[in-house]
Amino acid sequence: MTAPSSPSRRSWIAGALATVSALWLAGCDRLAQAPNFQSFLQTASGLNRRSQRLLVGGALAKEYSPQDITPAFKSNGTLNPPDADYQALLKDGFKDWRLVVDGLVERPLSLNLDDLKARAARTQITRHDCVEGWSCIGQWTGPQLGPLLRESGLKPNVRYIVFHCADSLAPGPAATGKYYESIDLFDAFHPQTILAYAMNGQPLPVSHGAPLRLRVERQLGYKQAKYLMRIEAVDRLEHIGGGKGGFWEDRGYEWYAGI
Ligand SMILES: Nc1nc2c(c(=O)[nH]1)N[C@H]1C(S)=C(S)[C@@H](COP(=O)(O)O)O[C@H]1N2
Ligand SMILES: [Mo]
């Protein structure tokens, strides 16, 4: 049985909603950088689900229990990047792999796996929904994207975060066939947006994106970029790949793939 909302809670919700709406209208960048935004989302997780939907349209993706984990999580798209540079990194157990964070940032970062593992990690059990019609539940562990972006010092004109992957899916010049994805700052600073180096408590398997993949839990499977090499902060998407913000977006899929 759920206790009815007290008037003070209702007015808090109304106030928070008004703040979010105002910031939303002012632009997602302002929202993500607002000091209260993070704590607002954390607080929202403590409210019941109806309030969450009322507040921000389902702020947090549902999280599951260990017994819900799909025994054989399907792999899709690239299962092992054919690209020579990736194969060389894989052969050495990703010793020389680095995640570069650059673009419109004050302090570009270059991080190896140990650097990423030294940071605070979040573990979440979530459902992955592929646009092709299948779903699997898995557990993901890794640092939240938000603190890493703050560390790099996003410039005020940043609007999107682009994820450059190691794998070429399309034939032709490598620069046009590489997988890539992008999200806005609202999703980039969402608490469940993490860079996962572990799946179900094990190092991320190659078929699922080793050594590092994005989890952006309120969107469809194709946004969950595998084989991450570089994260780029940009003010627009037109000059990247085919200009639509992602490998599949360039081939007709929606850029915002909310579930
Ligand atoms: N780099 C890269 N990321 C990718 C893909 C891909 O082919 N290459 N496929 C996407 C699609 S369509 C889905 S459904 C998921 C599949 O993730 P999984 O192999 O871990 O199930 O990864 C997404 N991310
Ligand atoms: Mo997918």
Alpha-carbon distances, residue 181 vs 90, 154, 186, 237 (angstroms): 22, 18, 15, 10
Residue 65 alpha carbon to ligand 1 centre in Å: 23
- Predicted pLDDT at 2: 39
**Ligand 1 atom at minimal distance to the Cα of residue 166:** 1
Mean pLDDT of 213-242: 98
Main-chain dihedrals φ then ψ at residue 3, nearest 5 degrees:
-70, 140
Tally of helices (H runs) and strands (E runs) in the chain: 9, 11
Neighbours of 16 (CB within 10 A): 17
Nearest ligand atom owner, CA of 179: 1
- DSSP 3-state assignment of 28? helix
> How does pLDDT run across 118-163, given as a tens digit for each residue?
999 999 999 999 999 999 999 999 999 999 999 999 999 999 999 9
Nearest ligand atom owner, CA of 246: 1
Q: pTM of the entire structure? A: 0.81
Residue 127 alpha carbon to ligand 2 centre in Å: 13
Residue for token pair 């992957």: 165
- DSSP 3-state assignment of 196? strand
> How does pLDDT run across 150-209, given as a tens digit for each residue?
999 999 999 999 999 999 987 655 446 899 999 999 999 999 999 999 999 999 999 999
Q: Among residues of the chain, what percentage have pLDDT more than 70?
A: 75
Nearest ligand atom owner, CA of 206: 1
Residue 2 alpha carbon to ligand 1 centre in Å: 39
CB 197 within 8 A of CB 204: yes
Tell me: pLDDT of 30 over 60. Answer: no
- Predicted pLDDT at 176: 60
**Ligand 1 atom at minimal distance to the Cα of residue 179:** 1
- pLDDT confidence band for 3 (50 / 70 / 90): very low
Pocket probe mutation, ligand 1, options 73, 74, 76, max atoms within 8 Å of Cβ: 76
Residue 82 alpha carbon to ligand 1 centre in Å: 15
Residue 250 alpha carbon to ligand 2 centre in Å: 15
First-to-last alpha carbon distance for the chain, in angstroms, is: 28
Residues at CB less than 6 angstroms from ligand 1: 74-78, 130, 165, 167, 169, 179, 207-209, 221-222, 224-227
